[in-house]
Structure 1
Amino acid sequence: METVIVLVVFVLAGSVQGAAGFGFGLVAISLLSAFIDIKDASIVLSLASLCMNAFIFWRLRQHFRFDRIAPLMLAAMVGAPLGVLLLVRADTFVLRRLLGIILLLTVVQGAIPWLASRRWHPFFLGVPCGLLSGALSGAYATGGPPLVAYVRSQGFDKFRYSATLQLVFAVNTSIRLFVLGTAGMFTKRLLALSIWGIACALIGAWIGLHVLRRMPEWALRHVVVGLLLVMGLKYLVF
């Protein structure tokens, strides 16, 4: 039953990521942590997340440019190992409350478009966003909110926007996997669940990419924001 739940969640989360450019970690950990320990959930989704990010980036690679992104990426690479340290040492109760806060902040970001309406400076705002995104990716594989806030402010078209997110997520997740592996956090059970989840995440990403080309952005944003609002309140209050 546990494996079936993981597979269904990964298809759903992969679809959101493919369509919206982000949300795999947020959706997956929100749903998975209702059935398995939050630390285990954050570890299980790492391998699938990396494969899915690489798949989406490869499909959109012609739209990617490094300008205005390099400081953000370098800062994210510094923040990711710090986030893994938080995951290893923090109490599960604290992690669930922090996850609730992260989800609600994402809702605020999605519900108030003017938060990302101005073009943010690549160093003065790009570096802090990169550090925070890297730390959140390292801890919970949920580094989307600060990264999305910065990238949206740059005025990229939807394909460059998505390609940029995928590359930064892939870099963060690669660092996260290395640190988790060296720390011995991957058990046989978690590794098996991760491997099963890869195919489902890729199927979801393929579905999401087709949605990206057809669904109005506002419609998908409302669906994602509604889901994250419910899950954020759940983990913050209960």
Structure 2
Amino acid sequence: MTWLLIIFPALLAGLIQGLTGFGAVIIMMIFFPSILPMAQAAGIGGIIMFSSEIALSMHYRHDFKLKRVLPAMIIYAAVATWSVQLGKVLDTHVLRLMLGTLLIVLCIYFLSSKKAGSRRYPWYVALLFMVVSGFFSGLFGIGGPLMALYFLSLAKSMPEYLANLQGFFLLDSIYITSVRAVSGILGTQEIPYILVGMLAASVGTMIAARLSSKWDLATIKPWIYRFIGVAGFYYLLF
């Protein structure tokens, strides 16, 4: 049963991330805390997607824009480093409820406003997205929804959106995993779970790659917004 709770969520996570660009750790964090402590579950979830993020980043490498990704990564990583330590002492229930409510409101707004998804955010809104995402990434390993909105607002095509978002997540995985390892949250005992999960996630990503090649950005945008709403309900209910 333990291995099933690793393999199935990782497979589904790879499929979801390959289609929408984010959401993998959200899926895994529904299941993993039932067999692992919260901090280890978040850490393992992040590492499992490493191979899929490499594959997606390589696939869309020609559309990757480092100048767009790097400043966001620096702000995000600085906040995530701080919140990893907070996760050891902070009661996070109220924060989860607040984030869940925010994501649901954003989902409703983007689905109801035809122009919302095509406009760029002011710098202070984009900065807020980076800070909030980094904060919750450090706590739960889940910082994707708001960063997906940020990169989606700047993208002109599906490959550009996926290239920048997956490149961002790849840098994030390398950095935040190192922080968790140094902090003693992750160790060698989690390696079997990670390897099996990586294999399952890679299969899910390959399936998604075949499906997403037939879709354009206009088609996938409403589904991204809906999944942001699902992420919000996850925060409220779990």
**With structure 2 as the length reference, what TM-score do the two structures score?**
0.84
Residues 52-91 of structure 1: pairs in structure 2 closer than 5 A: 52-90=52-90
1:179-229 CA deviation, whole Å, 9 max, x = no partner? Answer: 111111124443321222111111111112222223542574476357435
1:124 is displaced (CA, Å) by: 3.3
Residue 120 of structure 1 aligns with an amino acid whose one-letter code is: Y
Matched, 1:231 2:228: no
**Structure 1 residues 103, 213: CA separation in 2 closer, same or farther (over 3 Å shift)?**
farther
Asked if 1:30 corresponds to 2:27, the answer is: no
Q: 1:39 to 1:95 in 2, by over 3 A?
A: farther
* CA RMSD of superposed structures (Å): 2.5
Q: Deviations over 1:53-97 (max 9, x none)?
A: 12211111111123444432221221221121122333xxx3355
Tell whether 2:5 aligns with 1:5.
Answer: yes
Amino acid at match of 1:135: F
| Residue in 1 that maps onto 2:99 | 102
Shift of the 44–81 alpha-carbon distance from structure 1 to 2, 3 Å rule, reads same
2:151 is the counterpart of 1:148 = no
Residues in 2 aligned to 1:200 and 1:137: alpha-carbon distance in whole angstroms: 22
Residue by residue over 1:24-63, the C-alpha shift from the partner in whole angstroms, topping out at 9 and shown as x without a partner, is: 1222212323454322311221211222212211111111
- Contact kept, 8 Å, 1:125 with 1:150, in 2: the verdict is no
Change (3 A) 1:13 1:153: same
Q: 1:70 to 1:181 in 2, by over 3 A?
A: closer
Q: CA deviation at 1:144?
A: 1.0
The size of the alignment, in residue pairs, is 231
2:172 paired residue number: 172
Give the whole-Å Cα distance in 1 for the aligned partners of 2:49 and 2:33.
Answer: 16
- Long gaps (5+) in structure 2: none
Counterpart AA for 1:59: H
Secondary structure of 1:89 counterpart: coil
3-state DSSP of counterpart to 2:88: helix
1:217 maps to amino acid: I
Paired residue type of 1:234: L
The 2-side partners of 1:147 and 1:57 are apart by 16
* d(CA) in 2 for partners of 1:95, 1:191: 27
What are the ranges of 5 or more consecutive residues in structure 1 without an aligned counterpart?
Answer: none
Tell whether the 8 Å contact from 1:129 to 1:150 is kept in structure 2 after alignment. yes
CA distance in 1, matches of 2:77, 2:32: 26
CA distance in 1: counterparts of 2:174 and 2:71, whole angstroms: 18
